[in-house]
Structure 1
């Protein structure tokens, strides 16, 4: 006798694409955003001075740089899916150390957080290049920005707010976001990326392209702009909360300011329109000059902390403009045949900024208090605006 059989229902994983990677990015943003304003406050409480915080961040930056250089070598022996998983587990370990261990272990938690982020970022970018078509890269970036905008806008203030209610809550939120990210990653079944044919020759060592990179003025300028922009953001994120606490304000102020700054991300369509009308050179000069001038003015009124913080907050609007246009000199002028190798050299701007920022701050703090750091940073940004005036005026403008 034949039995009626119900067909088995299959639930295939979602096709890896723009929305899937934007969701992964949103999970990562949720894990990072709740702690990004918590760690500077905890570091300052544990170490007692801004100078000591700078010294620790130098060591952390060096460890992250070494990890970034070592990830490609590690990827030759560890499958990418397990390497990505390892990065998430290191992020979770950092949150456990920061939230459940004594305060003296906070620097170790920050180091684990930085190393985990480096591993996750390298693997994430590799997956994106495998599964997202080149024609969809722009849409992928805009969707990633949209999905991550809310966590970055809410998370920094929420983190310091919840820290005052219970110090472990921000870390529990970060751990939960990491677990969701890990579960969704394995649900996507990305594996080790798409299979590719064996290369006819071994991959070129990016170090061989360093001299050629720095002999090309436009590529060097793009790297320099990206580095200075990252320095500006790093100093704002780390030292604004310290300035607020030393000025007698609540330790929640830094998180609130960072949340508002990240809320400016939703203005990027307007900034993109400005960039398309005026060109890259004008946008670069405007971004560096505006942020630099406001950082200097904030130092001049630092005896009044509320106006100073408001002015610094306004300066980040110009830093976001630099986020949009700072990398375009590189992207628009690099030779197609050298994109991979030159991109490896260009990407070092993040690691150089993560090491250079605390070194720069430590030198400044030897002569002036913490508010002087913003003036020194403003002078650097203003100097970069003068250099940006030498950018080709037609760069980024549509040709008719």
Structure 2
């Protein structure tokens, strides 16, 4: 199997490890904690651990190497499944933290494999393929995880997630790079504070990071609060799983959005996607007082718009980063995931102290509309 397609398949496997429990965790947390505000606090605390791990990851990468980090991510996935299976408050907290660490490590290390295995000239074609197969995992995982938990018990989706995590390092080690393997010295280089300054001094990297934060923040909101919305407004946990799966299924349109971007321009697709997604997300709030099904449908329309943005993947960063800075800049860029988790979770925890659940959709929509304005800074030739 060619390295690029093998890498795409393994990435989809890491996504399945995540998505088998991605809806199950907020459903269990909401049932155990009782309010969306307390769930927000839980995710906020877990995100703090994610930030700490993200800061330490470059140092760990330079000391341990990618293979050991992959094994660590797999161990985190197994540990998360075990902790969540205890059905206790402590187990829920530990399981969520370990889940965050698994996702963070897999994403960062996989980004380095992409930079090694995929030639720069083929990145624009590779990203839609990666998102397409990831979309299949997103489409199956959330619904299947909740369905299996209701029919057989939580142990089966948890065991499936753990198995996917264990398979990832085993399969990655069998891949053969198409290009030269980085030297030991190059692989041991970790970013420094000076690299952070160099990253932020480059407008294209800064813009790619900000737009990635907005994209990931919307999905963090959707994956946590769509199930809570379904339960709160009488649709039920299964409907929450279906809602997440249907929204995620739209990622399968990634190749279509990739072709559209080549025809109309990435800038135009991103601008329209952020704007439409933000406006539809805001519209969910008033619809909750009229029809829960109407609000759910509007969430799916917003997810459709966001799928256009996801169809571009991280191509903004991959095309902006200079080849000799890839190893140093990738961990810095990857902090967008941590920021996207911690900032909305903290904001929602505060807002939900005094306002009902629909405020989450208003705040998320406004942030996404603002991101549409940032796309104006992209080159018109992009």
Give the structure-2-normalised TM-score: 0.88
1:59 is the counterpart of 2:84? no
Q: Are 2:277 and 2:306, in contact at CA under 8 Å, matched by a contact in 1? A: yes
Q: CA deviation at 1:358?
A: 0.2
User: Paired residue for 1:11?
Assistant: none
1:368 is the counterpart of 2:347? no
Q: CA deviation at 1:325?
A: 4.1
1:287 is the counterpart of 2:276? no
Q: How far apart are the structure 2 equivalents of 1:257 and 1:63?
A: 28
Q: How far apart are the structure 2 equivalents of 1:188 and 1:329?
A: 26
Q: CA deviation at 1:356?
A: 0.8
Q: CA deviation at 1:22?
A: 2.5
Say which structure is richer in helix.
2
Q: How far apart are the structure 2 equivalents of 1:27 and 1:275?
A: 27
What is the CA deviation profile of residues 10-46 of structure 1, one whole-angstrom value per residue up to 9, with x for unaligned ones?
xxxx7x7123222322322222221111111111112
Q: How far apart are the structure 2 equivalents of 1:90 and 1:47?
A: 24
Q: CA deviation at 1:385?
A: 2.2
The aligned runs of 1:212-227 (5 Å cut-off) are 212-227=198-213
User: Paired residue for 1:72?
Assistant: 58
Give the structure-1-normalised TM-score: 0.85
Q: Are 1:231 and 1:353, in contact at CA under 8 Å, matched by a contact in 2? A: yes
Q: How far apart are the structure 2 equivalents of 1:283 and 1:38?
A: 32
Q: Which moved more, 1:79-88 or 1:51-60?
A: 79-88
Alignment partner for residue 252 of structure 2, among 262, 266, 289?
Answer: 266
- CA 1:38–1:194: 2 relative to 1, 3 Å: same
User: Paired residue for 1:388?
Assistant: 375
Count of residues in correspondence between the two structures: 377
Q: How far apart are the structure 2 equivalents of 1:181 and 1:387?
A: 36
Give 1 or 2 for the bigger CA radius of gyration.
Answer: 1
User: Paired residue for 2:306?
Assistant: 319
- CA 1:326–1:300: 2 relative to 1, 3 Å: farther
The aligned runs of 1:182-221 (5 Å cut-off) are 182-185=169-172, 194=181, 196=183, 198=185, 203=189, 205-221=191-207
User: Paired residue for 1:176?
Assistant: 163
1:81 is the counterpart of 2:81? no
Q: Are 1:298 and 1:309, in contact at CA under 8 Å, matched by a contact in 2? A: yes
Q: Are 1:329 and 1:395, in contact at CA under 8 Å, matched by a contact in 2? A: no
User: Paired residue for 2:364?
Assistant: 377
Aligned to 1:36, the other structure's residue is in SS state coil
User: Paired residue for 1:358?
Assistant: 345
Q: Are 1:18 and 1:143, in contact at CA under 8 Å, matched by a contact in 2? A: no
Q: How far apart are the structure 2 equivalents of 1:79 and 1:342?
A: 17
What is the CA deviation profile of residues 319-364 of structure 1, one whole-angstrom value per residue up to 9, with x for unaligned ones?
1222234755544444555444444432221111111110121122
Q: CA deviation at 1:232?
A: 0.9
Q: Which moved more, 1:272-281 or 1:290-299?
A: 272-281
Task: Point out where structure 2 has 5 or more consecutive residues left out of the alignment.
Answer: none
